[in-house]
Protein backbone atom coordinates (compact mmCIF):
# COMPACT_ATOMS: atom_id res chain seq x y z
CA UNK A 1 0.00 0.00 0.00
CA UNK A 2 1.63 3.33 -1.01
CA UNK A 3 2.12 6.04 1.58
CA UNK A 4 3.58 9.53 1.76
CA UNK A 5 5.29 10.81 4.92
CA UNK A 6 5.62 14.58 5.07
CA UNK A 7 9.10 15.10 6.50
CA UNK A 8 9.29 18.86 5.90
CA UNK A 9 6.40 21.03 4.74
CA UNK A 10 7.83 24.52 5.22
CA UNK A 11 8.71 27.14 2.63
CA UNK A 12 12.12 28.74 2.25
CA UNK A 13 11.32 31.03 5.18
CA UNK A 14 12.74 29.50 8.39
CA UNK A 15 10.14 28.92 11.10
CA UNK A 16 10.22 27.20 14.48
CA UNK A 17 7.58 24.59 13.64
CA UNK A 18 8.26 23.68 9.99
CA UNK A 19 11.23 21.98 8.34
CA UNK A 20 12.42 22.55 4.78
CA UNK A 21 10.98 20.56 1.87
CA UNK A 22 11.15 16.77 2.05
CA UNK A 23 8.61 13.99 1.50
CA UNK A 24 9.04 10.23 1.69
CA UNK A 25 7.07 8.11 -0.77
CA UNK A 26 6.85 4.40 0.06
CA UNK A 27 5.65 2.47 -2.96
CA UNK A 28 5.83 -1.24 -3.74
CA UNK A 29 8.81 -1.81 -1.46
CA UNK A 30 10.70 1.33 -2.54
CA UNK A 31 11.55 4.28 -0.30
CA UNK A 32 11.84 7.44 -2.41
CA UNK A 33 12.81 10.74 -0.77
CA UNK A 34 11.52 13.72 -2.74
CA UNK A 35 13.84 16.61 -1.90
CA UNK A 36 16.25 16.73 1.02
CA UNK A 37 15.65 19.95 2.87
CA UNK A 38 17.30 20.01 6.27
CA UNK A 39 17.01 18.46 8.81
CA UNK A 40 15.62 15.45 6.94
CA UNK A 41 18.23 13.00 8.30
CA UNK A 42 16.96 13.48 11.88
CA UNK A 43 13.35 12.85 10.87
CA UNK A 44 14.32 9.76 8.89
CA UNK A 45 16.35 8.42 11.83
CA UNK A 46 13.27 8.82 14.01
CA UNK A 47 11.53 6.40 11.63
CA UNK A 48 13.87 3.48 12.32
CA UNK A 49 16.26 2.25 9.64
CA UNK A 50 15.20 4.54 6.80
CA UNK A 51 18.59 6.26 6.54
CA UNK A 52 20.00 2.85 5.64
CA UNK A 53 16.99 1.70 3.62
CA UNK A 54 16.34 4.64 1.27
CA UNK A 55 16.43 3.62 -2.38
CA UNK A 56 16.67 7.05 -4.01
CA UNK A 57 16.77 10.78 -3.34
CA UNK A 58 14.91 12.82 -5.96
CA UNK A 59 15.90 16.50 -6.00
CA UNK A 60 13.44 18.79 -7.79
CA UNK A 61 15.85 21.75 -7.96
CA UNK A 62 18.90 23.27 -6.35
CA UNK A 63 17.49 25.86 -3.96
CA UNK A 64 18.92 25.31 -0.49
CA UNK A 65 15.55 24.58 1.14
CA UNK A 66 15.24 21.55 -1.16
CA UNK A 67 18.79 20.16 -1.05
CA UNK A 68 20.49 21.65 2.02
CA UNK A 69 20.07 18.47 4.10
CA UNK A 70 21.79 16.18 1.58
CA UNK A 71 25.35 16.26 3.04
CA UNK A 72 24.08 15.46 6.53
CA UNK A 73 21.95 12.65 5.09
CA UNK A 74 25.00 11.14 3.36
CA UNK A 75 27.12 11.52 6.47
CA UNK A 76 24.41 9.96 8.61
CA UNK A 77 24.11 7.01 6.24
CA UNK A 78 27.87 6.51 6.44
CA UNK A 79 27.97 6.67 10.24
CA UNK A 80 25.01 4.31 10.56
CA UNK A 81 26.79 1.71 8.46
CA UNK A 82 24.74 1.85 5.29
CA UNK A 83 25.88 -0.62 2.61
CA UNK A 84 22.92 -0.46 0.22
CA UNK A 85 23.49 1.55 -3.00
CA UNK A 86 21.83 4.96 -3.11
CA UNK A 87 20.52 6.63 -6.27
CA UNK A 88 20.70 10.45 -6.34
CA UNK A 89 18.67 12.13 -9.09
CA UNK A 90 19.09 15.83 -9.83
CA UNK A 91 19.61 18.34 -12.62
CA UNK A 92 22.63 17.37 -14.71
CA UNK A 93 24.33 20.76 -14.35
CA UNK A 94 24.30 20.38 -10.56
CA UNK A 95 26.05 17.03 -10.24
CA UNK A 96 29.68 18.16 -10.46
CA UNK A 97 29.05 21.08 -8.09
CA UNK A 98 27.21 18.95 -5.52
CA UNK A 99 29.97 16.33 -5.56
CA UNK A 100 32.54 19.11 -5.06
CA UNK A 101 30.43 20.54 -2.22
CA UNK A 102 30.39 17.18 -0.48
CA UNK A 103 34.17 16.84 -0.85
CA UNK A 104 34.62 20.36 0.53
CA UNK A 105 32.81 19.17 3.66
CA UNK A 106 35.45 16.42 4.11
CA UNK A 107 33.08 13.71 2.96
CA UNK A 108 34.49 11.41 0.31
CA UNK A 109 32.38 9.01 -1.70
CA UNK A 110 35.12 6.40 -1.35
CA UNK A 111 34.67 6.48 2.43
CA UNK A 112 30.87 6.28 2.47
CA UNK A 113 30.86 2.48 2.58
CA UNK A 114 28.03 2.36 0.05
CA UNK A 115 27.93 3.15 -3.68
CA UNK A 116 26.24 6.31 -4.94
CA UNK A 117 24.72 6.43 -8.41
CA UNK A 118 24.39 9.98 -9.75
CA UNK A 119 21.49 10.17 -12.20
CA UNK A 120 20.90 13.35 -14.21
CA UNK A 121 17.32 14.42 -14.79
CA UNK A 122 16.16 14.95 -18.37
CA UNK A 123 12.87 16.63 -19.18
CA UNK A 124 10.30 13.92 -19.90
CA UNK A 125 12.89 11.12 -19.65
CA UNK A 126 11.30 8.28 -17.72
CA UNK A 127 13.37 6.30 -15.22
CA UNK A 128 12.31 2.85 -14.04
CA UNK A 129 13.11 1.51 -10.59
CA UNK A 130 12.67 -2.24 -10.03
CA UNK A 131 10.19 -2.82 -7.20
CA UNK A 132 8.62 -5.74 -5.39
CA UNK A 133 6.05 -6.64 -8.02
CA UNK A 134 7.19 -4.87 -11.19
CA UNK A 135 8.68 -1.38 -11.42
CA UNK A 136 8.00 2.23 -10.46
CA UNK A 137 8.44 4.88 -13.14
CA UNK A 138 9.64 8.39 -12.35
CA UNK A 139 9.42 11.15 -14.94
CA UNK A 140 10.78 14.68 -14.35
CA UNK A 141 9.01 17.55 -16.10
CA UNK A 142 10.78 20.88 -16.50
CA UNK A 143 9.18 24.00 -15.09
CA UNK A 144 10.15 27.65 -15.09
CA UNK A 145 10.79 28.24 -11.40
CA UNK A 146 14.53 28.86 -11.60
CA UNK A 147 14.33 30.76 -14.86
CA UNK A 148 11.79 33.04 -13.23
CA UNK A 149 13.68 33.52 -9.96
CA UNK A 150 17.42 32.95 -10.32
CA UNK A 151 17.98 34.45 -13.74
CA UNK A 152 15.66 37.38 -13.24
CA UNK A 153 16.83 38.37 -9.78
CA UNK A 154 20.53 37.71 -10.16
CA UNK A 155 21.10 38.86 -13.71
CA UNK A 156 22.73 35.49 -14.41
CA UNK A 157 24.00 34.53 -17.84
CA UNK A 158 20.86 33.48 -19.79
CA UNK A 159 22.88 30.65 -21.36
CA UNK A 160 23.54 29.14 -17.93
CA UNK A 161 21.56 25.94 -17.35
CA UNK A 162 19.36 26.14 -14.26
CA UNK A 163 16.75 23.41 -14.38
CA UNK A 164 13.82 22.90 -12.05
CA UNK A 165 11.45 19.94 -12.21
CA UNK A 166 8.07 18.64 -11.19
CA UNK A 167 7.89 14.87 -10.73
CA UNK A 168 5.43 12.24 -11.94
CA UNK A 169 5.69 8.88 -10.15
CA UNK A 170 3.61 5.96 -11.40
CA UNK A 171 3.07 2.40 -10.21
CA UNK A 172 0.18 0.60 -11.85
CA UNK A 173 -2.93 2.72 -11.29
CA UNK A 174 -1.22 4.83 -8.62
CA UNK A 175 -0.03 8.19 -9.99
CA UNK A 176 1.59 10.75 -7.70
CA UNK A 177 2.57 14.27 -8.77
CA UNK A 178 5.03 16.47 -6.88
CA UNK A 179 5.01 20.06 -8.06
CA UNK A 180 8.40 21.10 -6.71
CA UNK A 181 8.55 24.90 -6.90
CA UNK A 182 6.87 26.56 -9.87
CA UNK A 183 6.86 29.86 -11.69
CA UNK A 184 3.09 29.67 -12.19
CA UNK A 185 0.24 27.43 -11.11
CA UNK A 186 -0.60 26.96 -14.79
CA UNK A 187 2.46 24.73 -15.09
CA UNK A 188 0.40 22.09 -13.27
CA UNK A 189 -2.36 22.04 -15.88
CA UNK A 190 -0.47 19.74 -18.27
CA UNK A 191 0.54 17.29 -15.52
CA UNK A 192 -2.94 17.23 -14.02
CA UNK A 193 -4.63 16.67 -17.40
CA UNK A 194 -4.34 12.93 -16.71
CA UNK A 195 -6.18 11.62 -13.61
CA UNK A 196 -3.91 11.31 -10.57
CA UNK A 197 -4.09 9.70 -7.16
CA UNK A 198 -2.41 12.63 -5.42
CA UNK A 199 -0.88 16.00 -6.19
CA UNK A 200 1.55 17.42 -3.63
CA UNK A 201 1.67 21.10 -4.54
CA UNK A 202 3.53 24.09 -3.24
CA UNK A 203 1.60 27.28 -2.47
CA UNK A 204 4.26 29.96 -2.11
CA UNK A 205 4.78 31.32 -5.61
CA UNK A 206 1.10 31.85 -6.55
CA UNK A 207 -2.18 32.12 -4.69
CA UNK A 208 -5.03 29.73 -3.98
CA UNK A 209 -7.29 31.19 -6.65
CA UNK A 210 -4.60 30.70 -9.30
CA UNK A 211 -4.11 27.11 -8.18
CA UNK A 212 -7.86 26.57 -8.33
CA UNK A 213 -7.97 27.89 -11.91
CA UNK A 214 -5.10 25.63 -12.95
CA UNK A 215 -6.75 22.53 -11.47
CA UNK A 216 -10.40 23.25 -12.25
CA UNK A 217 -10.61 20.31 -14.67
CA UNK A 218 -8.22 17.99 -12.84
CA UNK A 219 -9.31 14.54 -11.66
CA UNK A 220 -7.54 14.18 -8.32
CA UNK A 221 -8.28 11.87 -5.44
CA UNK A 222 -6.14 13.96 -3.08
CA UNK A 223 -4.51 17.37 -3.08
CA UNK A 224 -1.84 18.10 -0.46
CA UNK A 225 -0.69 21.68 0.04
CA UNK A 226 2.86 22.22 1.31
CA UNK A 227 5.59 24.87 1.09
CA UNK A 228 2.99 27.46 2.08
CA UNK A 229 3.49 31.21 2.00
CA UNK A 230 3.48 32.84 5.42
CA UNK A 231 -0.08 34.07 4.96
CA UNK A 232 -1.43 30.60 4.21
CA UNK A 233 0.70 28.93 6.87
CA UNK A 234 -1.01 31.05 9.51
CA UNK A 235 -4.49 30.14 8.27
CA UNK A 236 -4.21 26.48 7.37
CA UNK A 237 -7.78 25.37 8.05
CA UNK A 238 -9.16 28.38 6.23
CA UNK A 239 -6.96 27.49 3.27
CA UNK A 240 -8.18 23.88 3.26
CA UNK A 241 -11.82 24.97 3.24
CA UNK A 242 -11.18 27.48 0.46
CA UNK A 243 -9.52 24.86 -1.76
CA UNK A 244 -12.41 22.46 -1.17
CA UNK A 245 -14.76 25.18 -2.39
CA UNK A 246 -12.60 25.99 -5.41
CA UNK A 247 -12.12 22.33 -6.35
CA UNK A 248 -15.29 20.39 -5.47
CA UNK A 249 -14.26 17.53 -7.79
CA UNK A 250 -11.17 16.74 -5.68
CA UNK A 251 -12.01 13.96 -3.24
CA UNK A 252 -9.79 15.12 -0.34
CA UNK A 253 -7.78 18.27 0.37
CA UNK A 254 -5.03 18.09 3.00
CA UNK A 255 -2.72 20.65 4.55
CA UNK A 256 -0.41 18.13 6.24
CA UNK A 257 1.45 18.64 9.49
CA UNK A 258 5.10 17.78 9.96
CA UNK A 259 5.45 14.01 10.22
CA UNK A 260 1.93 13.27 9.01
CA UNK A 261 1.52 10.10 6.94
CA UNK A 262 -1.09 9.52 4.23
CA UNK A 263 -1.89 5.93 3.22
CA UNK A 264 -3.49 4.98 -0.09
To the nearest 10 degrees (0 to 180), the angle between helices 70-79 and 95-104 is 60
Q: What is the pLDDT of residues 195-229, one digit of tens each?
A: 999 999 999 999 999 999 999 999 999 999 999 99
Instruction: Please tell me the distance from the alpha carbon of residue 118 to that of residue 226, in angstroms, as a whole number.
Output: 27
pLDDT of 67 strictly over 80:
yes
Q: What is the pLDDT of residues 111-165, one digit of tens each?
A: 999 999 999 999 999 999 988 778 999 999 999 998 755 655 555 555 567 899 9
Q: What is the pLDDT of residues 50-60, one digit of tens each?
A: 999 999 999 99
Q: What is the pLDDT of residues 166-177, one digit of tens each?
A: 999 999 999 999
Which residues contact residue 71 at a Cβ distance below 8 angstroms, ignoring those fewer than 6 apart?
101, 102, 105, 107
* Cβ atoms of 181 and 164 closer than 8 Å: yes
Q: What is the pLDDT of residues 3-53, one digit of tens each?
A: 999 999 999 998 888 999 999 999 999 999 999 999 999 999 998 999 999
pLDDT of 179 strictly over 90:
yes
Instruction: Please tell me the distance from the alpha carbon of residue 184 to that of residue 182, in angstroms, as a whole number.
Output: 5
Pick the CATH number of 3-263 from 3.40.50.720, 3.20.20.120, 3.40.50.150, 3.60.15.10: 3.60.15.10
Whole-number pLDDT of residue 1: 87
Whole-number pLDDT of residue 19: 96
Rounded to the nearest integer, the mean pLDDT of the chain is: 93
**Burial of 234 by CB count in 10 Å (0-12 exposed, 13-18 middle, 19+ buried)?**
exposed
Give the residue extent of every domain in the chain: 3-263
Give the count of beta carbons closer than 10 Å to the beta carbon of residue 47. Answer: 15
Amino acid sequence: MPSISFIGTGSGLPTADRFFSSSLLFIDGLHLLVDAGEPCVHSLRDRGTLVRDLDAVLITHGHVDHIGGLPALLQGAMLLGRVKPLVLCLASEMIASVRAWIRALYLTEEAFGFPVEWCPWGDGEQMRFPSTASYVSITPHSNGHLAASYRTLSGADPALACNSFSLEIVWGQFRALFSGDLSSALELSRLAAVPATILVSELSHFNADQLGDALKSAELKALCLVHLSEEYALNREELRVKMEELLPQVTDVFVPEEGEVLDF
